[in-house]
Each structure stands twice: as structure tokens, then as C-alpha cells.
Amino acid sequence: GITILSKNTAIKYKNSKINIIDTPGHADFGGEVERVLKMVNGVVLVVDAFEGPMPQTRFVLKKALELSLPVLVCINKVDRPEARAQEVVEEVLELLLELDESERYLDSHFIFASAIGGWATEDINVKKDNMSDMYEAILKYMPAPEGDETAPPKMLISTIDYNEYVGRIGVGKVECGSLKVNQEMLLLNHLDKEKRQKVRIGKLYEYDGLKRVEVQEAKMGSIVAISGIEGFQIGDTLADPLNPETIPFVNISEPTIAMHFSVNDSPFAGQEGKFVTSRQLRDRLQKELNTNISLRVEDTESADVFKVSGRGELHLSILMETMRREGYELQVSKPEVLYKIDENGKKLEPMEIAIIDVPEEFMGSVMEKMGTRKAQMKNMIQSKGGYVRLEFSVPTRGLIGYRNEFLTDTKGNGIINTLFDKYDEYVGDIETRTRGSLVAFETGIAVTYGLYNAQERGILFVEPSEKVYAGQVVGSNARTEDIDVNVCKRKQATNMRASGSDDALRLSPVKKMSLEEALEFIGDDELIELTPTSMRIRKKILDRAQRAKSRK
């Protein structure tokens, strides 16, 4: 699965306390991964005994090796019937060598486990009945925190939590010294070296199992949560007032995709959501910046429109989905890729690595589709059970909306994982959409008669008795141009009896889009309207005459 936020916990084993932090593996949440790794002294790499290393494995491992952290490898799910633990060990060693050529990681220790069975073992042929081999390996191979317990206290705020009652909570590792409740500290801003403020620690919490436990003092090496301090950001340092030193903060990966979030101004605005004003939208986006540090929010010329940049389509679509579930109404534009210009004036664009596992029978259609999206095949490996693993280098913009199409093409049997690679030379235009839109002619309620006439033109998105407004996109045209259709048109009633009964009008099934599909479908002159209960596609200019004028 995909972990989106990193969570921490702690367990006691023998006389030691082991702090455990789960990092997200997906590159879209790179900001989380990089700063969480600053809190740890070593990593346990968990790899599936059947799937082997996945792209997200590579991403987190690469970040850990850059920080020279020791690695303990746990091969999980070894009790699966199709497990291939020994082969996976070889694959992990190959990956370690590929990511770090110094060979120092080739003697990393391996543990074989079944999390669902609750056991771990050093020898795959000897099944145990508890996790003690795992804990012993952690104590043996993971170094204890280094730091001076008698030095002045210092802590880097690595993540931020939020609680309705106490407000913002800063989480981080005590680098040296110890922290006490009511202690006076200096808060040092990581962006502005001159910005310092005196603060007092309100409450201190440590982690025990899945709970936060209030403590009076936290010593060096503890991962703690602090409340009662205002105005801190991720990356800030809490230091002793007599000895104010900042702790270096890891650079967060830059955004690669931007979209415009705007206030919903459709004819149905305010009917389905609780939060509809630009101030509420701005406050919600600003609140998101508190914890989501890979995100950027900028004002635009219009007070109702905000430019939101993130680490990928998934990063932004999760934010949109969260907001609509919280009761917000908003409109979003087509995603744009953030380009760069190099020193020679060449245009650069973000490229991704896509690793695809598909049954052999679907390989042809996947390669054809990836080809139209300007992907280049880098590698192809025959896997077990008639599967093939394909590795592509593909522009970020080529992947927008591809996941759902991929699932359809492979009848749900394919797995696609993507990972940001680097900025590279622009590869040329990608033909995305070849069809026009069917646009509602008037506001009203869609009826079977009107829809029946419209469906000859293409594929419909709305069902009978659904409310529509003029300028809403109600379907996809079979041809390239947009067409206005009247889906609210009723049959003229006459007092003449039809010869024979009217045949019941049969409608083709409508296409219900997911948010990702809609993001790929919309054109530059269209928006997606999101409310807690609906998702509609609309033209930016709703009025038909004005639309025609703007096209000239």
C-alpha cells in the first residue's frame, strides 16, 4: 500500500527502547521521506518475498544510502505459497550495489519474517514463533543515538502534527542534552538565520506503542512531541538560549506539477458544500502547508484563484479528494508540468521511471500506449508465471491519467509504479486528447429523450434526472470539435396516437470518471468542479456566444 504520512511509535525490548518511524515510499511524498530519515540512526528495509524490490523500495533506499545509514533487510511474507525468498535476497543485493558502488552494503544482515504470523528468523529453514530475532538484529546492527547527554539541549522539528485542543505539535529527535517541561528555549528559523524567538515548552510527550505518553523530561535520542509553542515550521531548531546553534536541514524535492485551484463559480455553487468562499479555500491551503512541505501555494492575479504545485498527480489529487470530503467546493484546472531552462537555453522537463509488471499477452498494447506518450524502454525482464517486467523512461506529463487506461488495457492484471527520475531535455509534443466535448445547451434536468438524441454523437457522462447547467461538459464527442447538445429536451406531446407503441428509448451506459481520468480528459479551456457529492466537468466560459467569440 502507499503510506502518505509518516507515523512514529516506540517499543521496549530488554533494557532498550526502540523508536520506529514508518516512512512513505512513494516519490510524490518525497518531502516526508527525506526529513524523516534525518531522525533515524538506521533503516529496516522491508521487501515482499514474492514481489521483490519495487520502485518505492529503490526511492527510500536511495535516500537512506545518501545519508550513509546502516541497512537491515527484512524479507517479509516468506510463508506465501509463491514466495521466492532466495531470489529476492539476490535482487536486494543487486539493488544495493547499483545504488552504492562502494560495496560496503553487500554484507548487510537479512531477516526472514511473516508479519501476519508474528514471527521472524535469521535462518529461513528454521521457523520461530516470535519476533525476537528481529529485535536482537536491531540491537546488534543499528547504532544507538550519538550525542552528548550533558550538552545544551537541541532538537530539529521534523514533522508537525495537529490537535484541536492543543494546536500544533512539533515532533523531532532530541539531538543532545535533555528537554524539560516549562524549559525556556530559543526557536531558530531554518530559512531566516536572523529570525529567533523565545519560547517555553508547554507539554512533552514520548511514544509508547501506539500511544503518546506525557513526560516531564526527555533525554538525548528520544523522539518527542512538543506542544504549547507557536509559530514553528518544519526544519526549525529548538536550541538552548545560551548556545543557539541550528541543525542543518535536508533540502526537500522541488514540485514538478502545478494546477490552479479556484472558488466554485458554477450555477450550482454553494448547493452541496459547506466551505465555498475564497477565504475558506485560502485558509485550507495554508493549513495544508503546515504539514505538507512538498506543496507550494501562490497567489495569482485573481483573488479567487491559487496556483498549487506538488510532487505529482497523486500528491495533488489526494489533496483535492481530502478537501472535497471535508466539505469544500472548488474548481481545478488541467495539470501543467513545471519546466526548467538550462544554461544553454534548452527546455527541460521532469522525467519519471515507470516499472510495469504485466502478463505477456498485454505487453504489446502497453508498449504501444507508452510509445504514444513518448516513453523509451530501458529494460525488459521475464518474470515468473508468464509476467514480464518493463522499465521505461517517460515524461511526467505523459503519465497524467494513464493509470486507469493501463488497468483497462491489462484487464486489471497489470501493476504500474512510477518514480521521479530527473529533469531532462524536452521530448516534444504528446498528443493527449483527440476528441471534442459534448456541451450542455441549457440549464435543467437531463431527460431520456434528450440524452437519446445526444448519445449518437459520442459517449455520455450524465444519466436521466441529473441536474446540468449550460456550459457543462456532458459527454465526449466522437469527433475532434465541441458540439452543443440539448440533453434537457423533452418530446413534444401531441394528441395523436402513435401507430404502434413508441419503442422504449434505450440509453447506452454512461461513463463515470474518476478524478484522475477527469484530470487527463479536460482540455485547456475546461475545469473540474469538485463538491462533496459531485464531480462535474465544465467549460471555463459557460456562455455559448462568448465561447465562440473567444475561439476566433
379 vs 377: CA distance, rounded Å: 6
In a domain, 300, yes or no: yes
**pLDDT number for residue 502:** 47
Sequence-ordered alpha helix ranges (H) in 294-345 = 313-325
- Please give the residue that has the higher pLDDT: either 288 or 328: 328
Nearest to 391 by CA among 356, 351, 352: 356
6 pLDDT exceeds 60? no
Q: What percent of the chain has pLDDT over 70?
A: 93
pLDDT tens digit sequence for 136-148: 999 999 988 887 8
Phi, psi angle pair for 382, to nearest 5°:
-80, 125
**β 178-180/237-239 pair status:** unpaired
Domain termination residue (choose one: 391, 425, 459): 425
- Average pLDDT across the chain, whole number: 86
Alpha carbon of 505 to those of 61, 319, 496: distances in Å? Answer: 58, 41, 19
Let me know whether 303 and 317 are in one domain.
yes
Q: DSSP character for 282? A: H
Domain termination residue (choose one: 299, 317, 337): 337
461 vs 437: CA distance, rounded Å: 11
357 pLDDT exceeds 90? no
**pLDDT number for residue 528:** 96
Confidence label for 36 from pLDDT (cuts 50, 70 and 90): confident
> Half-sphere exposure of residue 425, counting CA atoms within 13 Å on the CB side?
4
> Domain of 329?
257-337
Q: Helix 85-99 crosses helix 55-66 at what angle (to 10 degrees)?
A: 50
29 pLDDT exceeds 70? no
Domain termination residue (choose one: 401, 425, 449): 425
Of these ranges, 104-118, 235-249, 324-338, 538-552, the one predicted with the greatest mean pLDDT is 324-338
pLDDT tens digit sequence for 86-98: 989 998 998 888 8
- Please give the residue that has the higher pLDDT: either 54 or 490: 490
**pLDDT number for residue 2:** 46
96 vs 72: CA distance, rounded Å: 12
- Please give the residue that has the higher pLDDT: either 498 or 100: 100
Let me know whether 217 and 300 are in one domain.
no
530 vs 536: CA distance, rounded Å: 7
Let me know whether 446 and 500 are in one domain.
yes
Mean pLDDT of 366-393: 88
Helix (H) or strand (E) holding 235: none
Let me know whether 270 and 281 are in one domain.
yes
Let me know whether 456 and 541 are in one domain.
yes
Mean pLDDT of 102-126: 88
How many domains would you assign to the chain?
5
Within 8 A by CB and 6+ apart from 153, the residues are 174, 176, 177, 178, 179, 183, 185, 238, 239, 240
Domain with 533 in it: what CATH number? Answer: 2.40.50.250
Helix (H) or strand (E) holding 398: helix 396-399
369 pLDDT exceeds 70? yes
Let me know whether 419 and 444 are in one domain.
no
Domain with 234 in it: what CATH number? Answer: 2.40.30.10
Alpha carbon of 142 to those of 24, 70, 410: distances in Å? Answer: 21, 7, 43
Phi, psi angle pair for 394, to nearest 5°:
-140, 140
Domain with 324 in it: what CATH number? Answer: 3.30.70.870
In a domain, 22, yes or no: no
Mean pLDDT of 159-170: 76
Confidence label for 387 from pLDDT (cuts 50, 70 and 90): confident
Q: DSSP character for 328? A: B
Let me know whether 51 and 137 are in one domain.
yes
pLDDT tens digit sequence for 211-268: 788 889 888 888 888 988 887 877 888 888 888 888 877 666 678 899 999 999 999 9
The reported pTM is 0.72
Let me know whether 534 and 474 are in one domain.
yes
Question: Can you tell me which residue has the cell 523509451?
Answer: 376
23 vs 395: CA distance, rounded Å: 26
